[in-house]
Every structure is written in structure tokens, then in C-alpha cells.
A and B are shown apart, each in its own frame.
Chain A
Amino acid sequence: MFAIGLIGFATRRNLIVMFLCTELMFQGVAINLIAFGAYHGNLAGQAFVIFVLVIAAAEASLALGLVVLLFRQKRTLDADAWRELRG
């Protein structure tokens, strides 16, 4: 799941799809944490995932807001439209 997210992030140009891919990576990591937590028999992994989900939710609202603002500026969702931000 992490790998799918990673490949998606690297290959797609659409900002919303890229954002979805980061969410995919998040969930990949979260499943991993739960799996290893169960494997080792402690609850730290699960507790950690709850934290990750909360932060992911906050981050998602922020990122979607940003995407909306960016779209309003350029009327496109293409990530390459913002190349002039390079240093």
C-alpha cells in the first residue's frame, strides 16, 4: 500500500491525486504499525496509529484547503504549473 502511494505520488500530476497518494502512504504505515504491534503483543502500535489518524485528518483539511487556493490562482490542478517556485 505504501509502495502504491509512493509510485502514485511520483507519477501523477494532478494535485488531488498526489494528495490521495500521500494519504495512501499514511495508511500503509498505519497498517504496518498495527501489524507489528499485534506481532509483538503490545498496544503501543495501535495507540500510535490513533495519533497518526488524528494528525492525518488535520493535515487533510489543511492540504485540501491549500489545493483549493492553488486551483483558484491558476485554474488548474497541474503540479507543474507551480514550477516558478523553484529556488
Chain B
Amino acid sequence: MRGANCGDESAVNELFSVQYCWLIPLLPLVGAAVAGFFGAKWLKGASHWPIWIGVGVSAVLSVMLLVGMLGLQKHEAEPAHETASAEHAPSARIDLRPFSEQFPLIATRNLFTWLDVGTPDANGHTFKIDFGYFFDPLTAVMLCVVCGIGFLITVFAAGYMKGEEGYFRFFAYLGLFIFMMTNLVMGENLIMLYLGWEGVGLCSYLLIGYYYDKPAAREAAKKAFLVNRVGDFGFALGIMLCFLAFGTVSYFGNGAGTNTGLLELARGAANPENSLHWAYQWIPFLLMLGAFGKSAQFPLYVWLPDAMEGPTPVSALIHAATMVTAGVYMIARCGTLFVGNEAAMWTVTIVGAFTAIFAATIALRQFDLKKVFAYSTVSQLGFMFVGVGLLAPVAGVFHLVTHAFFKALLFLSSGVVMHAMAGELDMRKFSGLKRTLPKTRWLMLIGCLALAGVPLFSGFFSKDEIVGNAWEHSKVIGIVMLFTAFLTAYYTFRLYFRVFEGPEVLPEPSPDAHGHGHDDHAHHNHEPAIMILPLVVLAIGAVLAGYLNWPKESLGEFLGQSPSLAHAYETAIPAYKPELVNPIPFGNERGHAELKKINEEYLDASEATHKTLMFVSGAIAVLGILLAYRNHLQDRARAERLAASVPELTHLIENKYFVDEIYQAGIVEPLRSLGRAFFAIDRFVVDGMVWLISFVPQLSGFALRITTQRGYLQGYAVTMLFGVVVILAVIFW
């Protein structure tokens, strides 16, 4: 079943998780199939078990992979680095050692050839797609996020979704989602990535529309699907262009270091004199479009807030922790395709920064708990895009990891609140819940502290790294990011103070509240262990995840072992001023030492700035919290007075800058008119022609029937005779 694995004899290949890598996606899929096919009739309320087992084992395998790689890193990677930096002069940055020595932590497993079509071109390439998996540190980290957090959320979901209509359906979709997402992060080529990419889009659609009897959920599902189509169209074109230009879509081809893979070939194409440079100019923009759609960046972010119509565990898993970060993963993975193209990188950065501040301002005046977090997710994804856009993929991925923890925590906590409030999520309708939901209150507080970027919590370190890199490249972006961090702290604690502190107000049980059958356990324990335990684990992660990359750059160093990042770093240097390409955010300690030789002064200054910025951003977070305290706990009327003092701005923000309305008027309505026009053309012109074509024979047939088929047997005989005479005449004349 498993083909030859391309000659790299690295020890990673021997790891159990790599040997049996096909189990990681397969088990959730099997779980999904069991839950989906047997759930309705037999499993019913136990439908979560196949998914728990499947995703749980996958999570264990992912963690084993990560731990195994970390173990190998300690033994192999570091001595190799020492010798390399001694041998090579700083100017000769392209490492000449064999690939497997440069990057000991990679492995490729080709399960089978999926597609092999087309006649070979001049270079002997056909369109060949291996159903293969590629392992490097980036994959390992992503897998742990997907399967680990995915598992916690499925545990939570078993408590949250208890007694729902279509319980088995929910878990079947979740299993399918994990299958697709693991394919996305483990895939060995862009087509595998695309398979997962579309697969998670499908699951997202299915799960947003889970309550399909609710019109809003149906609309939201359709919107998510359609908006993503826009981005995916560009993404598909990008992949096609990759194939057209490089003749392959595999990241590292058949054999790392053989210069047959897309990412290695792209290093050459980054050079303006290369004949493939034209493709290099276009590919990043097309791929980026896909990332903007999937990761909800301006202008394609509109689907994400509406996606909150889905069940809360779905919001946590798909629309906060994993799927929406696929765009960030893709840009980090295909770094070599992006970094050499300065315009593309600035586009990513500016879109990211704009989205961050734009969504943060909208979050200021949202009253729906989940909507606040949805806009916050859009904003935090903007941070990640700034990270990857400003030559700091490690910072982007680091923020991805910490964000996955605390945002999943926040969403699930708000799920507990929603559960307890019988589906009510409007924070104007309740307040001071700390007595009703004491455990949730502490968990939510931890999540809020992490999101707000309070020092020593995970969000602080990762956000600070992005802000620091932003500041280094452009003061404007840096200030925007700092201001966004301030807004983040403010809206997070506005929510916290309103929901959990202050006078206790419980909502009136309203008949139209979208309580999905929760009403029956309104008087039960609101915080069952099955829901609280996963939250505790996530909370621990939300506190501690920051120390992955601080004070030592351990995560960075680990990710730097990924050839994607290392190649990106080498591609970036000729495209920018060398001192702008700080190797640390690429996880390249060795490069750091080289750079230090060239430009010690600059690096020292940048480190000093970094330290100062840490204090500044910490202070800003605290300031935001204090302001939220004054406006939303001490005197809640003050916030309303503040809003009333700038009515136009408030109006603008409360209506989310009218973006939905602009789309409605500018895109949806014209398209609808176009559709109507096409419908009319179809109905009257095309159908008319078809009708005419069928009408002529019908009419002639009718005429013939009336005149000839009269039922006189003799008449038929005479007609036959006449016919024979005519035929004979024709033959013998």
C-alpha cells in the first residue's frame, strides 16, 4: 500500500505516528461513517463514541508525532547547525548539505498514486498527484492543534448537544471535518491541500446549517459556502498556475532536495531574471484570495459572523480554532511562493492589519456574545496575516496556536452561558452571572485575559511578537496593531464585565428564544463535568501556550526545522534589504548568528525595541481593561453616553459599516437581476426555440394522422400498393 518514500532515511520515518500516519485521518473518517450510518437507528445518544475514539486516537498519534520530533530535534538538529555555521561564510546562505541532513525532521509517505494523467511535457512531467502525507514540524504543530483541540471540543459537544435532534448527524459531520482538516495539514501537495480545503468548507456548510429548520441558519450556511467559492476560485487558479509554471504541485517533489518540488523550484523563480518569474508574480495573489476567503479576511470576511448560527462547539472548532486558520497555514507552508514577492507580502499585511482593526471596531458595539467573539476571531486572524505577511511565519503560527486555545475556550464558555440562559445570547438581557455559573466565570476570565493580551497569558506573547515585527517593518502598521490590541482588551472585558460582574440579572424565558430544546434542563446543573473538564484543559493551554515560545524561542526553533520556513527565509533575503529579514521569526537561529555578524547594531536595537514594545502592549492591554471596567461595570450608562456623543459613528459601527448592505446592493442585487434576465432569456428564447422545434413535427404528424389513418383496411392496402409501385418505379426507372 505504501510506496517508496523518496530516499530520505531520516529517523522521523521510524516514528510510529509516521509509519501509521494513514490512521490519523482514517480513524475520524471511520468514526464519522459509523456515527453517520448506524447513528440514526442504533447508536442514537451514544453516537459520540465512535468520534471520541477516532479523534482521540488521532490526537494521541499527533502528540506522539510532536513529542517524537522534539526528541529527535534535541539529538540531531543542533550539532548539524554548529558545523554548518562554521563552514559557510555569511554571504553563502544557500546550504549545500544534503537535504536530509539540513532538515532531519521531515518525512514523506506516499500511500498511492491518486491521479496520473496527461501526456508528458518537455520536462517529462505529467499531472501526477500522489495521495501522500508530508511531515515536518509545521505539520506536527498543526496536527496537534487540529486533533488535540478537536478532541476536547468533541468531548464538550457530547454534553452540549445532549438530546438534540440529529445528534448522530452532528458527530458524523465533526468526524468528517477532522478527516478533511488532517488531510489539509498533512497533505503532500497542493491538490491534497485543496481536497482538505474544500472538504472543510463542505463540513462548515453542513454544520452552520445544522439547524436547517431555522431560516437564518440556512442563509448563513449558503452565505459561507458562496463567499468561500469566490476565494476558492482564485485558489484553484493559483494551483493551476503553479502546475503550469513548475510542472508539479507537490511541495517537495519526489525526494526532498532534488529540486523537483514546487517550493524548491519557486526559490529560483523568485529571481527576476528567471523565465518563470511571471508566474511568481501572479501565484501568491491567487493563492492569497483563497486564504482571504477561508480565513475570513476583508473583503471576504462577511460569512464568519453569520456562521455563528451553527452550534457553539462548531463555532469553537471550525470557525475559531482550526478551519479558519487554514489560510495562515497555507501561507506559512507556501512561504517560498510568497516571500520573494514584496507586493504580495504587503497586500497580505495591509489586508490583515485593516481586517484586524476593522473587525475589532465592529466588535465594540455587538451585543450577541458569539458575534463579539466572531468579530474578534476575524480580528485575530488579521493579526496572524500581519505576522505571516511581515516575514514572521513563526509569529503567525504561534498566534494561531495560542488563539486556538483561548478562542476555543471562550466560545465553549459562551456555549455554557447560552446553555444556561436557554439559548439567550444578548448580553443586555443578563448580567452578573458569576453566582449562577461560578466555574464558567473563572474559565471565561482566563480566556478573556489571554485574548486581551494581559502579560503572562498566552495571547500576550504571541500578539506581542506580531506587533514587534510589525513595528520593525513599518511604524504605521505597528501603531495600528497596538491600537487594535487596545480595542481587543476593551471589547473582551466589556463582554466579561457585562456578563459575569455587576448586578445579577437573568433573562425572562422568552418563547421565541432559539433554545434548541434546552428549556427542559433549565433547572438542572448548568455546569456538567463533561462540559467543564475540556474547558479546564483548554484554560491551562490558554495560560501556558505562551511559554512555548518565550523566553526561549523554542517553538520558533522547532518550526525552523520545517523546510518550508527555512526556504522562505532564504528566498526572502535577496528580495528585501537583508537587515529587514530577521531570521528569528523564521525560526532560524543560525541565520541570526550570521546576521549578527553583519549588522550587530541593528539587531541590538530591534531587540531593545521588542522589549520596550512588550511593556507598551502589556500596559495597553491593562488600559483597555480599565476603560472597560469604568464604562461597563462602574457605570454602565457611561458607555451609552459615550456612544450617544458620536451618533454617526455609533450608527456606522452598529450596522457593521453597512458592508452587508453594500454587498447586497452592489453584488447580490445586480447578480439577481442578471439571473432574472438569464431566466427570461431561457424561458422565452431558448425554451421557445426548443418548443418550436418540437411543434413542427407535431403539427405535421397531426395532419398526416387526420388525412391517412382513417381505419379503412382497404385504404391501408391501397396506400401500401401505391408505396410499392412508387418504390418499384424509383428502382427500375
Q: Is A55 an interface residue (CB 8 A)?
A: no
Residues in A with CB closer than 8 Å to B721 are 6, 10
Chain B proximity of A8: nearest CB distance (Å): 10
Task: Mark out the residues of chain A between 10 and 65 whose CB falls within 8 Å of any chain B CB in the assembled complex.
Answer: 10-11, 13, 18
- The CA of A36 and the CA of B530, in the complex, are separated in Å by 102
- Is B605 on the interface with A (CB-CB < 8 A)? no
Contact call B717/A9, Cβ cutoff below 8 A: yes
The contact string, 1 if C-beta is below 8 Å from chain B, for chain A 68-87, is: 00000000000110111111
Q: Within the assembled complex, what's the spacing in Å between the Cα atoms of A51 and B717? A: 25
Of the residues B709, B712, B714, B718, contact of A87 by C-beta under 8 Å? B709
User: When each residue 701-717 of chain B gets 1 if its CB lies under 8 Å from chain A and 0 otherwise, what string results?
Assistant: 00001000111111001
Q: How far does the Cβ of A37 sit from chain B's closest Cβ, in whole Å?
A: 22
Closest to A6 in B: B721
Cβ of A85: which chain B residues have Cβ within 8 Å of it?
A: 711
Please state if A86 and B713 are interface contacts (CB–CB under 8 Å). no
Interchain CB contact under 8 A, B711 and A83:
yes
How many angstroms from the CA of A86 to the CA of B712 in the assembled complex? 8
Q: How far is the CB of A4 from chain B (nearest CB, A)?
A: 14
Q: Which of A11, A13, A84, A86 has the most CB of B within 10 A?
A: A86
Q: Shortest CB–CB separation between residue B648 and chain A, in angstroms? A: 78
Q: Which residue of B lies closest to A82 (CB)?
A: B711
Cα–Cα, bound, A6→B718 (Å) = 9
The complex places the Cα of A11 from the Cα of B714 at a distance, in Å, of 7
List B679-733 residues whose CB lies under 8 Å from chain A.
705, 709-714, 717-718, 721
Tell which of B705, B709, B714 touches A79, judged by Cβ atoms closer than 8 Å.
B714
Alpha-carbon gap, A79 to B716, bound state (A): 12
Which residues from B are CB-within-8-Å of A6? 717, 721
Cα separation A7 to B163 with both chains bound (whole Å): 87
Residue of A nearest to B721 (CB): A6
Give Cα A10–Cα B719 distance, bound, in whole angstroms: 10
B718 and A10 contact, CB distance less than 8 A: yes
Once bound together, how far apart are the Cα atoms of A33 and B346, in whole Å? 97
Q: How far is the CA of A6 from the CA of B711 in the complex (A)?
A: 19
Nearest chain B CB to A83's CB is how many angstroms away?
Answer: 3
Closest to B718 in A: A10
- A13–B709 Cα distance when bound, in Å, is 17
Q: Name the one of A10, A82, A84, A86 contacting B714, with C-beta atoms under 8 angstroms.
A: A10
**Shortest beta-carbon distance, B41 to chain A, in Å?**
53
Main SS of the interface on chain B? helix
Q: In whole angstroms, what is the CA distance A69 to B721 when docked?
A: 28
A33 CB, nearest partner CB in chain B, Å: 18
Chain B residues with CB below 8 A from A79, complex form: 712-714
Report the minimal beta-carbon distance from B619 to chain A, rounded to whole angstroms: 95
Chain B residues near A9 (CB, 8 Å)?
714, 717
CA distance A51 to B712 in the complex (A): 31
A2 to B355, CA, bound (A): 96
**B709 to chain A: which residues have CB within 8 Å?**
86-87
What chain A residues lie within 8 Å of B712 (beta carbons)? 79-80, 83
Task: Point out the residues of chain A lying under 8 angstroms from B717, CB to CB.
Answer: 6, 9-10
* Pair B713/A18 contact, Cβ less than 8 Å: yes
Contact A86 B718, beta carbon cutoff 8 Å:
no
- Shortest distance from the beta carbon of B551 to any chain A beta carbon, whole Å: 95
Report the separation of the CA atoms of residues A13 and B717 in the bound assembly, to the nearest whole angstrom: 12
Q: Which residue of A lies closest to B713 (CB)?
A: A79
Given contacts A6-B721, A10-B721, contact A84 B711 (CB under 8 A): yes
Closest approach, in angstroms, between the C-beta of A19 and any C-beta of chain B? 11
In the complex, residue of chain B having the shortest beta-carbon distance to the beta carbon of A18: B713
Cβ of B711: which chain A residues have Cβ within 8 Å of it?
80, 82-86
| Least CB distance, B27 to chain A, in whole angstroms | 65
State how many angstroms separate the Cβ of B728 from the closest Cβ of chain A. Answer: 13
> Which has the most chain A C-beta neighbours within 10 Å: B709, B717, B718?
B717
Complex Cα distance, B256 from A2, in Å, reads: 91
- Chain B, Cβ-Cβ closest to A86: B711
| Most A Cβ at <10 Å: residue of B709, B711, B721 | B711
Nearest B residue (CB) for A83: B711
Closest to A11 in B: B714
With a CB–CB cut-off of 8 A, which chain B residues contact A13?
714
A87 near B705 with CB under 8 A, answer: yes
Min distance, Cβ B710 to any Cβ of chain A, angstroms? 6
Bound form: Cα–Cα A37–B711 in Å = 39
Q: How far is the CB of B158 from chain A (nearest CB, A)?
A: 68
Chain B residues within an 8 Å CB radius of A83: 710-712
> Shortest beta-carbon distance, A7 to chain B, in Å?
10
Residues in chain A near residue B710, CB distance under 8 A: 83, 86
Which residues on the A side are within 8 Å of B714 (C-beta)? 9-11, 13, 79
* Alpha-carbon distance between A82 and B712 when the two chains are bound, in angstroms: 8
Residues of B within 8 A of A84 (CB): 711
Q: Could you say which residues of chain B place their CB within 8 Å of the CB of A82?
A: 711, 713
CA gap between A6 and B705 in the complex, in Å: 25
Cα distance A37–B650 in the bound complex, in angstroms: 110
Q: How far is the CA of A85 from the CA of B716 in the complex (A)?
A: 13
Residue-by-residue, is B664-687 near A (CB-CB < 8 Å gives 1, otherwise 0)?
Answer: 000000000000000000000000
Cα distance, A83 to B709, chains bound together (Å): 10
* Chain B residues within 8 Å of A11, by CB: 714
Report the separation of the CA atoms of residues A13 and B712 in the bound assembly, to the nearest whole angstrom.
9
A26–B711 Cα distance when bound, in Å, is: 24
- Compute how far the CA of A87 lies from the CA of B714 in the bound complex, rounded to whole angstroms: 16
Contacts of B718 in A (CB 8 A): 10
Q: Closest chain A residue to B705 by CB distance?
A: A87
- Docked Cα-Cα span, A42 to B565, in Å, equals 95
Residues from chain B with a CB closer than 8 A to the CB of A18 are 713
What string of 1s and 0s marks CB contacts (under 8 Å) between B432-449 and chain A? 000000000000000000
For the complex, what is the distance from the CA of A83 to the CA of B711, rounded to whole Å? 4
Q: Return A46 CB to nearest CB of chain B, in Å.
A: 25
Q: How far is the CA of A86 from the CA of B714 in the complex (A)?
A: 13
A58–B385 Cα gap in the complex (Å)? 90
Cβ of A10 to closest chain B Cβ, rounded Å: 5
B172 to chain A, nearest CB (A): 56
A41 CA to B674 CA in the complex, in Å? 81
Report how far A84 CA is from B711 CA in the complex, Å: 7
B704 vs chain A, min Cβ distance (A): 10
Give min CB distance, A3 to chain B, whole Å.
Answer: 10
What are the residues of chain B within 8 A of A86 when measuring CB–CB? 709-711
Closest CB of chain B to A2's CB: distance in Å? 11
Bound Cα distance from A69 to B714, whole angstroms: 20
- Cα of A79 to Cα of B709 in the assembled complex, Å: 15
Per the bound structure, the CA–CA distance linking A18 and B714 in Å amounts to: 9
> In the complex, what distance in Å separates the CA atom of A84 from the CA atom of B718?
19
Q: Which residues of B contact A87 (CB under 8 A)?
A: 705, 709
- With a CB–CB cut-off of 8 A, which chain A residues contact B705? 87
Cα–Cα, bound, A86→B707 (Å): 12
What CA separation (Å) do A67 and B718 show in the bound complex?
Answer: 21
Measured CA separation A11–B712 after assembly (Å): 11
18 contacts between A and B (CB under 8 A): A6-B721, A9-B717, A10-B717, A10-B721, A79-B712, A79-B714, A80-B711, A80-B712, A83-B710, A83-B711, A83-B712, A84-B711, A85-B711, A86-B709, A86-B710, A86-B711, A87-B705, A87-B709
Closest 5 CB pairs of A and B: A86-B711, A83-B711, A79-B713, A86-B709, A87-B709
Taking A79-B713, A83-B710, A86-B711 as given, write out 11 further A-B residue pairs in contact, using a Cβ cutoff of 8 Å, ordered by the A residue number: A9-B717, A10-B717, A13-B714, A79-B712, A79-B714, A80-B712, A80-B713, A82-B711, A84-B711, A85-B711, A86-B709
